[in-house]
Structure 1
Amino acid sequence: MPFTVGLAPGVDAAALFERLNVEFYGSIETIAQLNAVQANLYYEPDKYGLGYDKLLDALRADPQVRYAEKEELAYQFPPAAHTLDGSELDIVRLPRVRSGSAPVTVAVIGNGVTPNQELPAERVVAGYDATEIYRRTTDLTGRGTMAAGIIAGDSGICSSCKIMPIRLTLESDTTQSLSDSLARGIVWATDNGAQVITTTAYLHFDTTLIREAVRYATERGVLMVASASTDAHQGRRVFPAGFDDVLAVSAVTTSGQDTMRGNHNTETDRWIDVAAAEGVPAVDHNNESKVLAGVEGSTAVVAGTVALAFASRPGVTAAEVRKAITDTTTTDGVSLPLLNAGTAVYSLTGQDSADPEITSTGLTTDQLITDVMSFRPSAVDDTAVTRMELYVGGDKVATRWNPWQSMNWSPPENFNGRIALTLRAVDVAGRSSSATTTVRVDTAGPAGSIVSPAAGARVRGSVEVVFRGAADVASAEVNGVAMKRAGSDWSATVAPSGGRLVVEATDKDGYRSRFTQTVVVDNDGPAATVNPKQNTRVRGTFTTSLTAVNDASGVAKAELWANGKYLGAGYSKKVATGQSSGNVKLVWKLTDRLGNTRSYTRTVIADNKAPSLSITKAPGDKAKVKGTVQVTVKASDASGIARIELSVNGKVVATDKTAGYVLRVNTDKQKKTMKVRVCAYDKLGNIAYTGTRTWYRR
């Protein structure tokens, strides 16, 4: 297991390990400037156990040891590839002057650097293989060369600067290395004249070794620029970028917003100092044009700006450069402080010898403008353009503060002619320049009107639109659909958009007019309440009807089907069920005056069956009776029994509505001969009779 041990001054590491019974295999690697050693160690008293913690405890307890820690890995995973939009360098406002009088060397710690057509060999100074294995500093992946070219290439940010390659990784694995190699690289670069050290390597944890290496560089006037890595860390610090003395760099989109290719600050830890756009075009070690993706590209841009700041003002300190970078960042409308390269350099030099140059107004001469338009002008300056202003007729009508933003202009209404638009670029020193573009404005266009449908008309679905235009109308479209011409009328069938029909008519010169007709879109059928309700029981011929019928466009008709048979139109219809029983499916279909329909389906239950009825206890036929006689009846029906009646000689003499039916009659008040019958009614009116019995009064 590799360990790093910080020693007190003058301590011999081998003697210390022997005294503590700490064994090592291989060699003891020394970083003399940091009073630190790195070695593969194990603890002799616990040689065959898991003694790493005991080993650390033994080392840390010794007065000759300042610190002891396990060796950590430094990672350099390449960011995911992505396509550039061409404005990556524009948003950081690079100055037009990209060289300085002071000699500056930038150490690029990573996979090595190889001179190429963009980065001449004379611009690459002697470097160092921090692995101390291959003794070579040539590039393994192309990413180090691309970063170096962005920083100090012919078209880089500081073409007068030098590059010092520090190779950190093995040829067998270009994505990770031991942290002691990173510490060696920082120390070697510091001792060999680098004023700027940049790396995209990162550790997940704060280690004393790297902390002391950074302090070693900082105390000797070096400014470190390091990648904050990607959003995979979810705002957590990585190192060395996470140390306060290091300029921590992340990536944003070309509109200054968060990206997965860059880390971010949190509400409680604003540790990332500056950001630049993700990805930069560059040339690799094989002289191929590539993209240095994500935060690697943004780190190179910030490192190049730091180098240019050192080169632009001889004698400037690392603290002054760092303050210039962080104090001039753009913070409005962006997710992280955004590099403002030209302003940062100007804040150190105060020099601005030329007016800004407008490279594009974003407009073309005689461009036709018929509505509110957006355009994006561009300008360069030997320092930095702070804003762009738009003037019409001497009046300022718009201001743009950030290069990724567009400018908007609303042309005057009912105007047909040419207007001069003047753009003014203002730099950080207040110097300015202007450029004027004359455009054609037509907000009058050809005359005409929408003759059908009428304003406020109620329509459904797609509707035929008729536009009657003047003789100079060359073409017309409605809601984006081309219209066909017939004389002076133009027509097409379209669906209204949000209740609007918009006709754009164009004359032979390309001038346009817009005509809008607002209609009421009604795609809903009529609403109503259907009677009877679902599962209502009916008998014989019953009536079904519609109530509360309404429709905004008016109801044209209502039609009824019963069990699939059409019964006609109207709001109320009779339905005959005959003698059958069972479900009857009613379908009401309502149609409004626009042709919208709505159907209602109801199922009712036809019950034309008489109740089940029997006498369970009563005098029999031809029985002789006297006084009050009791008749007990049993009855049932699916629709429910309404009542049971007892008739004597055709006259109802007793009624019972409660189950367990008992009917009583005083025979003394009846004729001597009595014809007796029981009748049952269900709740729908179906009737059942018993046979007639004859009684004789005694």
Structure 2
Amino acid sequence: MVLALGIVPGPARAAGGDDMADRIAAAQAAPASSETRPPARRIGPAAPANGPAHLVVGYRAGTSATAMAGHLRATGVSVRADASLASLGAQAVTVPAADLAEVTAALRADPRVAYVEADAVVQATALTPNDPLYPQQTELPQITVPDAWSTTTGSAVTVAVIDTGVSPVGDLAGAVVPGWDFVNNDADPSDDQGHGTAVASLIAGRGNDGVGMAGVCWSCKVLAVKTLDATGSGLASASAAGIVFAADKGVKIINVSLGGYTATQVEKDAVAYAQSKGALVIASAGNDLVADKLYPAAFDGVLAVGGTDEDSEPYIFCWLWCEGTNYGPDWVDVAAPWCSIAANLPGYSTPETDDDYDVFCGTSGSAPLVSGVTALLKSKSPGATSAALTQALTSTARPTQTTGFTQFGEIRAAAALSRVDASAPKITGVAPGPNARFRGTVTVTATGVSDTGSGVAYAALYAGGKLVGRDTTAPYAVKYNSGKSNGPVAFQWRVVDRAGNSAVFNRTLIADNKAPTVKITSGPKNGAKVKGTVTVKVSAGDTAGINRVELLINGKVVAKDVSAAYAFKIKVSKFPKTMKIQIRAVDKVGNTAVTTVRTWKR
């Protein structure tokens, strides 16, 4: 059985001496919180009410930097000396808020002063939506989503939500693509629990529309796939069916905010099936504060997501009990904030919230934040493979100070957006050259291999469409054994980078394992008695060409001829009284043929 939020009762907490275990132990040992429940939401810090004021004072032409500084000191303000500003005839100053009006008036009254202006606050060009709940969504700036919005707020990328269903309420209006209900076996995957709708809103809640909250990918679509019932539980077989359904629909990003501690074959096969269709499965790591693996998150190739607090460290909260993110760098890949503001299914309000939005905490919320960011990446780079998306997310993640948590750290949306590698590696040639002949085993080498993005992962050699072997280091070379075959062999090198992009180079070589022809056309017969100097004439031929013809007497090569017509003059007195004569032909690739033995006596 699998549950939403990963709340299947977990095994006993893992013990250990790593930093993650130390943090858990410290949280357990801390005095009991006065809170009667975990904090409901995280609000950004308010600006100080009485902080100092910052001004820029500009002077008329001809006023030296020394004169500017002297005048400002005499006025009683704090000067931030800046040679660059002095070149502009200006200086930056700090004034106590209570004295702002008086100081400003005094400065403006001086004939040397050209202007006095507030030192305006500037920020990175992050897009700030006008949704009224956005100021409470501190989880989004934490993972640099607003900076990513300056590049893209999404496109019609579809993300499948395998969950309790999705209802198109509030910010999800117009975002939901109806899929299938595997609980009731019908085409109405409406949400009767609320979990799936909250998950979907974090991915694709419409932003900058003046109402509610902002999801990560404002223009994305959500494919609603219901596999959990009204209690938030369901069967692994239903989740597996939902994953397959989404993959068959062509969805390339599949969010699975559910899990169990039993690795079922059916879910494993479903994940592998989705991966074979080019989909990336993103799953929550669970909320039991244990290192035990939760599935499907822990299956190979799934991007497993843990939860972080407002300090970008593993989320741990202890009250009457302890809760927090599951962990383990051997299976948890990345992390995202534990708590978010999400859409609330009407009728599921709490005393602290209304019927429209609620605080949504747990790795069930962390995973869709990663899915939403992945959808932004896919929007900017539609051709990016699942491997490219994964590589962009993991290579730009910010490692946590706490070790023993994830393999890569907390995601950073803006950096990932600029790191998507959708360009293929290069391969410029293959050795041997085209239509080169070979016999037996040949070493085939890929030449001119490079990749300026994520780097080459491996090069694979295929012959006749079948894998021969791989090489992971340059020079990329693989041996091919042709056995006794003859004729053209279609080779292909496939070079794959770490982002899953590939390039190919085709080359045809000729397998030549056929022996040449050779015969003695003139010379003493077998059993002949010979004396003086004897001449033996030979004919030899091969489609690859003859390299040489050799004369063997008593098994030893005593003469060679490399030009047709081939002939040998033998002074018999130099050899034993009994001579066993053979002629051997060697073709251009090394195949050989030998005549039958002729025995001579002198």
TM-score under structure 1 length normalisation: 0.37
TM-score under structure 2 length normalisation: 0.43
Q: Which has the larger radius of gyration?
A: 1
More helix by share: 2
Relative contact order: is structure 1 or structure 2 higher (C-alpha 8 Å, sep ≥ 6)?
Answer: 2
